[in-house]
Every structure is written in structure tokens, then in C-alpha cells.
A and B are shown apart, each in its own frame.
Chain A
Amino acid sequence: MPKRTVIPFGPHHPVLPEPIHLDLVLEDEKVVEAIPNIGFIHRGLELLCEKKPFQDMVLVAERICGICSLVHGIGFVNGVEKIMNLQVPERAELLRVFWSEMSRIHSHLLWLGLAADAIGFESLFMHSWRVRELVLDIFEETTGGRVIFDAIKVGGVKKNISKETLGRILKQLDKIEEEYKQIADVFVNDFTIAHRWSGVGVLTKEQAELLGAVGPCARASGINFDVRMIKYGGYDKISMEPIVETAGDCYARALVRVREVYQSLDQVRQAISKMPEGGEVEVKVTGFPTGEYFSRVEQPRGEVIYYVKGNGTKFLDRFRVRTPTFANVGPLVQMLAGCDLADVPAIVLAIDPCISCTER
């Protein structure tokens, strides 16, 4: 039997600026086992629900993650609104869909750039982020923030978008799509990228189902599921079809994200066209939440579950978040077993890990 070596991967490592830690057990150059260790940046955000009124908890929920902050906010308010039986106006729901799909475009472009950077494709990284900048400009114009948007509140949205701005955004979306097509072409057709990722970190459909993979990671393994299919929030007015690949390797995960950007662009256009003109964007909130609810929302990284329990006071009893990266750690360990040491960064990056989300 060859000699076994343990190499610590992280918390400081070359893939991400986030502190994931894996103990890699190696036999020569092959990884036999990977032991994850999380908890470096636990901030105790869930306990804050005992100190902040439930309306202010939206601000805390939005700060769980820096990339999909708005979708976290939507997950929280969905739970509270269901407990309190609030009917959110249609325009507010579609504005939420608009912003969350824009978040997906921005998150996927960020990931595509980082992934290109991780395999040494610097120019593709720069160009992906250049396109992402156009999306961030739309966010800044409509919400006032580029990363933390602060646009969601219990009972609706804080900001409305005028008709002229929406017209301008539609034109801008055409520009984004045109620029994005060139980048997507490189991801889909370039030889170097396919050569680097094909067959690396394979997760079969059975394994993905068994280990509970979520989001693009599950869809790349052939699981036809997307939480947007349960039609939460304003998604009942939007038609969509989940994007599925069957190969289950890193390249399939990249292709799912590449195609999801087109899907999101289509959904943003649908949301804008179906938005009723004028009308309120928020309802008045009276009373306090009593009861509990599990809210499920599709983040760019996968399914996030919010558990909210109110006790009839302005403070919540319990607030619990199950983030997509946490669900994907199990599949990640499965993918790492048997791979080469040099493939570890590519595989870790392919699940799009967000450690700040995971540890909250």
C-alpha cells in the first residue's frame, strides 16, 4: 500500500478569497478522501433575530451573502409574509423577480470569470467581469447599491422603477446579451476549457440524488429540478424550463451556468413585459407574525431554505437558514475522492462555494 499523506487545503488557498478548509488524504498524487472543516467565519447572524425587530431582520438576511444578498432577503420576507397572510402587490412581486434574475446573471458572470481565472484564462476573466459591470450599473441605477441592494421589505419593495428607466434597461439588456454571446461562445466552444474540465469531478445522477445536491450542481448531473418550478413569489407569471446537462462533470456545471444566463435574460424581459403599470409596490404591515413557515427560494447557487418562527411579538422566536453551499459540501467530498491533486481547485470552484453563506 502506498504511503498516505495529508495535505491541508485552506483556509488560505489559491482558488477563492473565502476560508474553506479541506484535509486532503493523498496516495501519491491521487486524493483518497477529503475531510471538510467549516466554521471559520461563523458570525451568529441567526441569533440576531432575538435582538432585532422582524422588519429589521431583512437587513441582516441580506447581509448573509455578498453575491446573492437580494435573494436571501426575498427568502426571509416570503416566510414572514406567508405567516402574516400578506398579499404582496403584483408589481412588487415582479420587481422582485426582476432583481433576483439580474442577481443570477451577475452571480453567474462572476463565477464564470473566477472559473476562467482559476484555469489561467486571464483575458476571459477580465471580459466576463466587464459584462458583469453593465449588470451592476443597472442595479446601482434602480436600487442605489451595487452589491447590497436594500430593496426588499416585509410587504413589498422599497424602490419602484419608472417606465422610462425600464425602457432604458431593456435596451441595455440587448447590449449585455450581445456582449455575453461572445464570451459564452468561448466557454462552449473553446478547446482549452473543454480539455481542462471534461471528465473532472464527475457526480452521477444517483449520487447527486443521494447526497442532496442542489442548484446548477444537481442540474449538471441530470436532475430536472429548479425551485422556481414551485412558482413562489412572482414566478407563477413567468414561464421557465430548467436547464439540465447529463455529463455531471465540471464542464457540465459551467455549461449549465452559461445557459442559465440566457434563461435569466429571458425571464427579466418577461417580468418587465408583465409588470402592471402604476399601482402600489407595498402593503401596510400590521400586527406581528405568529406561526412558522419553511420558505424555499432558488438562489444563483441553488436552493436556499428559510425557516421562520414568530411568537406574536416583534422579535422572532427562531430564524434558520440552510444555504446551497452547505447542501453541496457532501457532493463535493464525493467528487474529490479519487481525483488528482491538481484538479482539486477546479472541483472546489465548480460547486460555486460561498463560505460566508454556509457559516452565517
Chain B
Amino acid sequence: MSDILKMCKTVVSSLRKKTFCQMYPFQPAKFHTHTRGHIKLDAAKCILCTLCAKRCPTGALEVDRVKGYWQINRYKCIMCIECVHACPVKPVKALTTEQQYAPPMAKMENERFDVEIKKPAAAPKVAAADAP
């Protein structure tokens, strides 16, 4: 008989405990220092080098150096933060990741940031940065 009641001890002890699951929308989620979240652009710092768009594995980013904009398709973004690693702006990167996921979206649209076009000399050598 005791063979089929092995689970009872665990079940009875967990009856006395609180709910294990976190009631997510009502309780805020926990985030850690390494959390990869919502990609954020500081348009004042962006130099339109297009390195982030080149590194993006899903093609979620589009950077136009002529018209001067940087845009992201949040539906395509998988938050691998390769773009953040690639951003060459120093000392503070133009692209950062927030410790928070993107807010829910009701419409399929690209998020566009207008960026001031700086002198071409400010752009880094793309070929040199691309090499490993």
C-alpha cells in the first residue's frame, strides 16, 4: 500500500505552502542584470553606421543614411541584442537594451526614429569593423 502513496508526502507538504507560480500581470516580473529586453535607441547619439542592421539575424532593423532614419520592426525582433553588441558609438552606446520587455502592441507597424545626418567622416570604417 505504501508503494502507491509515495507522492502523498510531497502533495501534503505543498498544500501548506503558498502558490508557487508568480501571478504575472498582477505582480511585476523579476528582471536580472543580464535580461535581454526591449531595444531602445538614443537618436541623438546614433551615427547611422548601419552596423546594427547588418548584424541583425532576422532583418528587423532598417537604417537609411540618406533619408536619416532608424527603424525597428518589433514583431521581427527576437531580442538577441546582437545590435547592441555591434553598436560602435563610444563611450555610451546609442543602442541599449532595457530590463523590460516591449509593451503589447495592437497594430503592426514599424517604430521609426528620425536621426540627424552627421558628416560622412563620422561614420566608422565598415569593412574594418566587420572583420572578426
Indicate if the CB atoms of B10 and A183 lie closer than 8 Å.
yes
Q: How far is the CB of B82 from chain A (nearest CB, A)?
A: 7
Asked whether, in the complex, the Cβ of A186 is within 8 Å of the Cβ of B6, the reply is yes
B97 (CB) vs chain A CBs: closest residue? A144
Contact between B6 and A314, CB atoms less than 8 A apart? no
The residues of B that contact A52 with a CB separation of less than 8 Å are: 57
Give the contacts of B67-102 with A (CB-CB under 8 A): 80-82
A142 lies within 8 A of chain B by Cβ: yes
Q: Which residues of B contact A190 (CB under 8 A)?
A: 3-4, 6-7
Complex interface bits, B1-44 against A, C-beta within 8 A gives 1, otherwise 0: 00110110111001000001000000000001011100000000
27 contacts between A and B (CB under 8 A): A52-B57, A53-B132, A55-B132, A56-B57, A56-B82, A59-B57, A59-B82, A124-B7, A127-B10, A127-B14, A130-B20, A140-B32, A140-B34, A140-B35, A141-B34, A143-B34, A144-B36, A150-B36, A150-B80, A150-B81, A182-B9, A185-B6, A186-B7, A189-B3, A189-B6, A190-B4, A285-B132
* Chain B residues with CB below 8 A from A189, complex form: 3, 6
Q: Which 8 A-B pairs have the closest CB atoms?
A: A144-B34, A191-B3, A190-B6, A186-B6, A144-B36, A182-B10, A191-B4, A141-B32
User: A178-197 CB contact bits vs B (8 Å, 1 = yes)?
Assistant: 00001101100111100000
Chain A CB count within 10 A is highest, among B9, B32, B55, B82, for: B32
**How many Å lie between the Cα of A354 and that of B80 in the bound state?**
23
- Which partner residue on chain B sits nearest A60 by CB separation? B57
Q: Are A123 and B11 in contact (CB under 8 A)?
A: yes
Picked from A124, A130, A159, A192, the residue with its CB within 8 Å of the CB of B34 is A159
Residue A85 at the B interface, CB < 8 A?
Answer: no
Selected contact of A192 from candidates B4, B10, B132, CB within 8 Å: B4
A145 an interface residue at 8 Å Cβ cutoff? yes
Instruction: Enumerate chain B residues within 8 angstroms of A192, measured Cβ to Cβ.
Output: 4
| Distance, CA A289 to CA B9, complexed state (A) | 56
Q: How large is the interface on B (under 10, 10 to 19, 20 to 34, 35 or more residues)?
A: 10 to 19
Q: Which residues of A contact B4 (CB under 8 A)?
A: 190-192
Chain A interface: which size bin?
A: 20 to 34
Within 8 A of B (CB), among A120-167: 121, 123-124, 127, 130, 133, 140-145, 150, 159
Interface flags for A274-305 (1: CB within 8 Å of B; 0: not) read: 00000000000111100000000000000000
Q: In the assembled complex, which residues on chain B have CB atoms less than 8 Å from the CB atom of A185?
A: 6
Max chain A CB contacts within 10 Å: which of B32, B81, B132?
Answer: B132
The CA of A55 and the CA of B86, in the complex, are separated in Å by 13
5 additional A-B residue pairs with CB within 8 Å, beyond A56-B82, A145-B36: A123-B7, A144-B32, A150-B80, A186-B6, A191-B4
B32 partner residues in chain A, CB cutoff 8 A: 140-141, 144
Give chain A residues whose Cβ lies under 8 Å from the Cβ of B80.
Answer: 59, 150
Q: Which residue of A lies closest to B11 (CB)?
A: A123
Chain B residues in 8 Å Cβ range of A53? 132
- Cα of A143 to Cα of B80 in the assembled complex, Å: 11
Q: Closest CB of chain A to B64's CB: distance in Å?
A: 23
A145 CA to B36 CA, complexed, in Å: 7
Q: How far does the Cβ of B119 sit from chain A's closest Cβ, in whole Å?
A: 29
For window 55-92 of A, CB contacts with B under 8 Å fall at 55-56, 59-60
> Who on chain A is nearest to B4 by CB?
A191
Alpha-carbon separation in the docked complex, A191 to B4 (Å): 5
Measured CA separation A236–B34 after assembly (Å): 29
CB-defined contacts of A133 to chain B, threshold 8 Å? 20
Task: State in angstroms the CA–CA spacing of A157 and B132 once bound together.
Answer: 16
Which residues of the other chain, A, contact B36 by a CB distance below 8 angstroms?
A: 144-145, 150
CB distance from A55 to the nearest CB of B (A): 6
CB distance from A15 to the nearest CB of B (A): 22
State the Cβ distance, B99 to closest chain A Cβ, in Å. 9
A44 to chain B, nearest CB (A): 15
Interface centre among B10, B14, B81 (most CB of A within 10 A): B10
Contacts of B14 in A (CB 8 A): 127
Q: How far is the CB of A86 from chain B (nearest CB, A)?
A: 11
| Inter-chain contacts of B3 with A (CB < 8 A) | 189-191
